[in-house]
Amino acid sequence: MRARSITILICIGLLLTLCSCTIRSDKKISEDVLNNRKEAHEKYLKETYPGQEFTVKVWQEYGEDIGGAGLPDYEGYLIKEVVTDSEGNRFKVHGDREGEYYDDYKKVLDGWIEYDEKGDMVFKTDKDKNKE
């Protein structure tokens, strides 16, 4: 009985250790990958919004990617991006592995969401909404 309890505790400890593992990498993302991402976004924007001017910024930044359990799944260089229109509205272009893109420009124009200059979503509190 005692041996079984010890074995169960060891298994639980190993399981908790594996669940909280974070993949770490110091490898930088190549400039080709960043340039390809920027070119793909520019092409998508020209096809989707002809006649409008946008500025696409793509860069890499060291940080953490948080997973579903609230724990970091990955720590290392991440691709950051933000698109700015001629009026200063910032939004993001999202894509999948098949090369299909979509954006949240309409949601930004409608006031549903907002991004800062680093491409992070800005969450407004009720106090912020009352100031407007």
* Confidence at residue 71, expressed as pLDDT on a 0 to 100 scale: 61
Contact between 99 and 47 under an 8 Å Cβ cutoff? The reply is no
pLDDT of 74 higher than 80: no
Cα separation, 115 vs 132, in Å, equals: 17
Percent of the chain with pLDDT over 70: 80
Report which listed range, 5-9, 16-20, 51-55, is most confident. Answer: 51-55
Look at residues 40, 24, 25, 18 and name the one whose alpha carbon lies nearest to residue 94.
Answer: 40
Q: Which of 37-46, 53-62, 68-77, 115-124 has the lowest mean pLDDT?
A: 68-77
Which residue shows structure tokens 């924007």? 45
Which residues does 116 contact at the CB level (< 8 Å), separation at least 6? 90, 122
